[in-house]
Amino acid sequence: MEKWTKKDLLGLEELSREEIEHVLSTAESFKEVSTREIKKVPALRGKTVVNLFYEPSTRTRVSFEVAAKRLSADVINVAIETSSVKKGETLTDTGKNIEALKADIIVVRHSSSGAPAMLAESLKANVVNAGDGWHEHPTQALLDMFTLKEKIGRIQGLKVSIVGDIAHSRVARSNIWGLTKLGALVTVCAPKVLIPEGIEQMGVRVTHDIDQALKDADAVNVLRMQFERDESAAFPKQLEYFKTFGITSQRLKKLKKNIIVMHPGPINRGIEISSEVADGENSVILEQVTNGIAVRMAALFLVSNSQQE
Amino acid sequence: MSILIKQGRVIDPANKRDGVFDLLIEKGKIVKIEENITDSAQTVIKAQGKIVSPGLVDMHVHLREPGREDKETVSSGTLAAAKGGVTSVLAMPNTEPAIDSESIVNLLASIIKKDAKVKAYISAAITKGRDGKKITDFKNLKKAGAIAVSDDGCSVDSKTIMLKALEEAKKEDILVICHCEDHSLSKKGVMNKGFFSTKLGLCGISKESEYKMVARDIELAKKTGARIHIAHVSCKESVEIIAKAKAKGIRVSAETAPHYFSLIDESVSGYDTNMKMNPPLRGVADCQAIKKGLADGAIDAIASDHAPHTINEKAIEFDRAAFGVVGLETELAVAITELIDTGMLTWLQLIAKMSLNPSRILNLNQGSLGINSPADVIVISPDKEWVVEEENIISQSKNSSFLGKKLKGLIDYTICQGKIVYQSQ
Amino acid sequence: MSKERIILSDQDIKKILQRLAHQIVEKNINPGELVLIGIQTRGVYIAQRVQAIIKEIESQEIPLGILGITLYRDDLTTIGPNPVVKETKIGFDIKGKRVILIDDVLFTGRTVRAALDEIMDFGRPQGIELLVLVDRGHRELPIRADYVGKNMPTSKDELVEVKLKEADSLDQVTIKTKNGKVD
C-alpha cells in the first residue's frame, strides 16, 4: 500500500482487498502498544476524537475511547438519545457544531443506515463508522478478521459461517464484505425470516441448517439475537431458537475438530450460545475485545493521516 | 388574443393527426388547423422542427395547499406545471387539513381561482382525514367541484370500507383513485425490498404490498362496477394484474410516474433521499415491465406524482426523510428520453398517455387539438438537451430525482386557454 | 538521470561494524548491562550484525530490541508519504540497562528524538548511546552519535542510501543528488 487515501472509514464494501489488509497489518503493530507498561504512543497527540453515539453502546464506545487514548488523543463522548432527535437539531448540524469545536475525528454510531456517510460528506473531520442501522460495522468486522488471521494465520480459503439474525445485522454485512474480499468462503445460517432478500448476491452461501453450517466451517461468528426487536409472530421464539440454532458443546463435539467461535458481544448465554461454549476453549470472544482496541487504533491512525487524492 | 403556430409537427392523438401544420388560436379556442394558414395573428410562433401538441394533463399532483405552503402552493405548483408543459393538474387531497369536506373543496377552489396559472382540478378524500375509517360525502364533494376521490398516500386498509366507498362512488359516478399499499406488508419500509435494501441495510417494501392491494381493489371494482384508477404503478406484477382485469372488461385505468420507467432501486445507493418515494423505485425487470405496459396499453397514463418537500424533510437520514419527489418540470423530458428516444412509444402514443388519456379518465374535455377545442397547446423542442439543476427548478421544492441528469426535450411555449402562460428564454 | 557515487563498499561496511563493535565492548566493561535497540528497518539489520560480532568477541549474546518509531514522529500531520506503522518489539526490561540505539543514517536527528521518547516509554534505562553507520550532518536537534561508522559531509538535497543484504541483496552506501547531479 502506497498511500491511505480514505478520509473516512464508512464500511468494508468501499475498501479494496489491499486497504483491508493494510488496516489489519497496521493493527498488528498497534497490538504491541497495549502490552507495554506505558500503554500510550503520541501518534494522535493534540487531536480530538469525538464519540458521537446516537445508540447506547458501552463496549464499542469504550473500545474506541481506549484506542484513542492509547494514541494520546483527547476523547469526548457525546451520547444523544434518538428519541430527542425529532425535536432537536439535524445530524448534519450536530456534526458541524462538533467540528466547530475543532474535533479532528468523529466516531459515529447511529440507528439510521447511511448516517455516517451523510456526516462524512458534509464535514472535513474524519468520520469513522461505529455501526449504522443494519448497514455496516466496519471495525467489528476488521477485528473479527484480525482475530481469525491471528488464530489461523490466513483468511484466504477459510470457511466462515455467520449464524443469527442476518437480516438486521450490520456485523454480518461488514463481515461478508471483508471476508469475501479476502478470499474466505462465507456461509450465513438463520431461520428463513432472518435471511434478507438477495444476500446471495453478496457472495455468500445460505443455509437454514446449523449443523451443516458448522460442519463445513473453520470458524463460526455467532450474532447476538435481539428478541425484543421484532414483535411479529414470524420471529422465532427464544427457546425454539436455542434448540435449532444455538451453539452448544454437544453440537461442537459432534464435529471432531477445532472450530473457532466468535461473538461480537454482548452475549446472550443460553439464547444463541451456551455458557459452556462461550467460556470454552473454542471461544475467542475475549481476544476479540482485546484485538478491537488494536484495530480501532489502526482505523483512527489511518484516517487521521489519510492523504486525499 | 390570437396566436398562430406555424409549421410545427402537430401531434394530436384525439384526431390521429401527426404531420406538419399551421394552427390558429383565437379567443381561447383552436379555430383552424391547416397546411398553410395565412390569417394574421397577434402572436406568431415559428415552430419548424418543433412538436406542437395538446397541453399535458397531469392527474397526480400534490399542490400542498392548504396547510403546507412551505413545500408548494397552488401558485408555485401551477407555474412549475406551465414550465413542464402541463395545462391541467389534478390536485391530490392529502393537504392539511385533508380535502374531505365541501368547505375545504370550496376553499381550495377559491385559491385555484385566484392563483392558478393553469387549470387545476380537485380530488377529494375517500375517508375523513384520510384515516381509512369514515367515508366522506361523495355527493356533496362532487357538487362542490371535486372530480375524483382518493386517499392517496394511504390505502383504505379495510376491505369493508373500501367496498362501501366503491358502492357509493358507483352511485355518484365519481372516479376512485387508488393508492395501493398493504401497510401490514410494507410496514416501516423505505425502499424496494431486494438486494439493494439488503446491501444498504434499509427496511424493504415488498412488491407484494403493492400488487396484492391492486388485486383487491380491482376485485372490488368488479364487484361494484365502480370506476377505479390505479395510481403510480411501480411493479411488473401490478401491470400484469391490471392487464388481465382490462381484458376481462373491468373498469380500471392506471398510471405510472416517470421515475418508475427511468430509475431503479440501485439508484438509492449513496442514500440519496431524492430517490425515496412511495411506492419505491423497483428493479430492472419492473422498470422494463412498466415501459412495456405503457406500450401495450396496460398503463393508460403518465402522471408526475409531483410531491414537493422542503430541504429540512429531505436533507436528513434516509429512513427519516419524506417520501416523494417533484416531477412537473421534468416529466415530459424524462418520457422523451426514456420512451421516444428508445423507440418504446411513438409521439402519438406518448402524447396520448400524457394528455388525451388522463383527460378521458377524468372526463375532461381536453387533450385534443380538434377545432373548437380549448386552446391548451404546447410547443416542444424535442431534441434540446438540458441538465436538471436546482437553480432551474421553479417549483418551491427542489427534491428532484433527476438532479444532475441530462434529459432531452424542452418546452418552448405553454398555452393555456389561449394565453401564453410559459415561454422559454 | 541521477548519478550515484559509492561511499562505502561491502568490505568497508564489514570493517566499520567490526570497529564499532569493538568500541562498544571496550567502553562497556560489564556486557551484562548492555542491550541493543535497532530502529526499523535498516537499523535493525545493523544491530543484528553488531550483536553477532559482539558474540564472537565476548561469547555472550546481547539482547536485541526492535523499534518502529512511526507513532512518535513529529511530522505525522505534514504532507509526506503515508506513514507505515512498523512493529516495535522489545522483549526485555530496559530498566537500569545501558542501551545502544542503532540506526543507519544520522541526519536531522528527528528520528533519534522519536526513538528516545519511545524508549523512555518502556522504562528508565541507565543510559542511552547512539550508534550510526553514517553521519551526514545537517542536524536540526542537539543530538550527536557516540559511535560513528563514517562522517560524511553532504549537501541538504543529496540522498544517502544505505543498502543492506537483508533487504537489498547487497551491502553498499551511495550518495546521489535529487536533481541528478553530483558535485
Question: CB atoms < 10 A from the CB of A268, how many?
Answer: 18
> C83–A305: do the CB atoms touch at under 8 Å?
yes
- Ordered by where they begin, the domains of chain A are 17-136+292-304 (3.40.50.1370), 138-288 (3.40.50.1370)
Which pTM was predicted?
A: 0.90
Test A3 with C81 for CB contact under 8 angstroms: yes
C-alpha to C-alpha distance for B310 and B396, rounded to whole angstroms: 8
Active site residue B341: no
Give mean pLDDT, residues C53-75: 90
pLDDT at C182 over 50: no
Closest CB to A197 among B198, B270, B318: B198
> pLDDT band for position A70 (50/70/90)?
very high
A307 touches chain C (CB under 8 A): yes
For residue B291, give every residue at least 6 positions away whose Cβ sits within 8 Å of its Cβ, in sequence order, or none. Answer: B261, B338, B339, B342, B344
- Which residues in chain B are closer than 8 Å to A92, comparing Cβ atoms? 315-316
Distance (Å) from the alpha carbon of A110 to chain B's nearest alpha carbon: 10
Q: Which residues contact B82 (CB under 8 A, 6 or more apart)?
A: B117, B118, B414, B416, B421, B422
Give buried/exposed letters for A172-206 (b at 16+ CB in 10 A, else e).
Answer: bbbbbbbbbbbebbbbbbbbeebbbbbbeebebbe
> What phi, psi does C78 have (nearest 5°)?
-85, 160
Q: Looking at beta carbons, which residues of chain C come within 8 Å of A6? A: none
Kindly report the nearest CA distance between residue A263 and chain B, in angstroms.
20
Q: Which residues of A touch C76 (CB under 8 A)?
A: 43, 305
C-beta neighbour count of C60 within 10 angstroms = 11
- Using an 8 Å CB-CB cutoff, list chain A residues near B319: 112-113, 133
Active-site annotation holder among B22, B152, B305, B412: B305
CB contact under 8 A, C85 and A4: no
- Rounded to a whole number of angstroms, the distance from the CA of A205 to the nearest CA of chain B is 15
- The rounded distance, in Å, linking the Cα atoms of B257 and B358 is 13
* Cell 483491508 sits on residue: A20
Please indicate whether, in this complex, the C-beta atoms of B204 and A91 are within 8 angstroms of each other. Answer: no
How far is the C-alpha of C48 from the C-alpha of C45, rounded, in Å? 5
Residues of A in contact with B209 (CB under 8 A): none
Residue ranges for chain B with pLDDT beneath 70: none
pLDDT at A85 over 90: no
pLDDT number for residue C13: 96
How far CA A27 is from CA of A6, A37, A117, C84, in Å, comes to 17, 19, 24, 11
- Residue ranges per domain, chain C? 11-24+32-74+84-157
Interface test with C, best of A29, A33, A47 (most C CBs within 10 A): A29
CB A91 within 8 A of CB A53: no
Contact A90 B312 (CB under 8 A): yes
d(C-alpha B193, C-alpha B76), whole Å: 35
pLDDT over threshold 90, residue A37: no
CA-CA distance, C165 to C157, in Å (whole number)?
A: 26
How would residue C183 be classed by pLDDT, with cut points 50, 70 and 90? very low
ipTM: 0.94
| Cell triple for C36 | 541493543
Give the pLDDT band of residue C79 (cuts 50, 70, 90).
Answer: very low
Is residue A153 very low, low, confident or very high in pLDDT (cuts 50, 70, 90)? very high
Q: Do chains A and C touch (3 or more CB pairs under 8 A)?
A: yes
Nearest CB to A37 within list C84, C118, C122: C122
Q: How far is C118 from chain A (nearest CA, A)?
A: 8
Does the CB of A3 have a partner CB in chain C at under 8 Å? yes
User: How far apart are the CA of B260 and the nearest CA of chain A, in angstroms?
Assistant: 21
| pLDDT digits 0-9 by tens, B306-330 | 999 999 999 999 999 999 999 999 9
Size of chain B in residues: 425
Identity of the residue in B197, B199, B316 whose CB atom sits nearest the CB atom of A90: B316
Partners of residue C79 in chain A, C-beta under 8 Å? 307
**Nearest residue to A244 via CA among A192, A199, A286:** A192
- Chain C residue whose CA is closest to A70: C71
Q: Which residue of A has its CA nearest to C91?
A: A36
User: What tens digit of pLDDT does each residue of A90-144 get?
Assistant: 899 999 999 999 999 999 999 999 999 999 999 999 999 999 999 999 999 999 9
Q: CB distance from A36 to chain C under 8 Å?
A: yes
**The three cell numbers locating residue C140:** 536540526
Establish if B319 touches chain A: CB-CB under 8 angstroms. yes
Please say if the pLDDT value at position A230 is more than 60.
Answer: no
Residue-range domains of chain B with CATH: 55-361 (3.20.20.140)
Would you call A275 an interface residue with chain C, using a CB distance cutoff of 8 Å? no
Beta strands in B139-251 (DSSP E): 146-150, 175-178, 191-192, 204-205, 228-230
According to the CATH classification, is domain C11-24+32-74+84-157 in 1.20.1250.20?
A: no
Cα-based angle A28, A32, A36 (whole degrees, multiple of 5)? 170
Look up residue B167 and give its amino acid: E
Q: Do β-strands A126-132 and B175-178 pair in parallel, antiparallel, or remain unpaired?
A: unpaired
Q: Which three cell numbers stand for residue C29?
A: 566493561
Give the CA distances from residue A234 to residues A164, A231, A243, B23, B168, in Å, rounded to whole numbers and listed in that order. Answer: 15, 9, 17, 64, 38
Nearest to B12 by CA among B417, B366, B409: B366
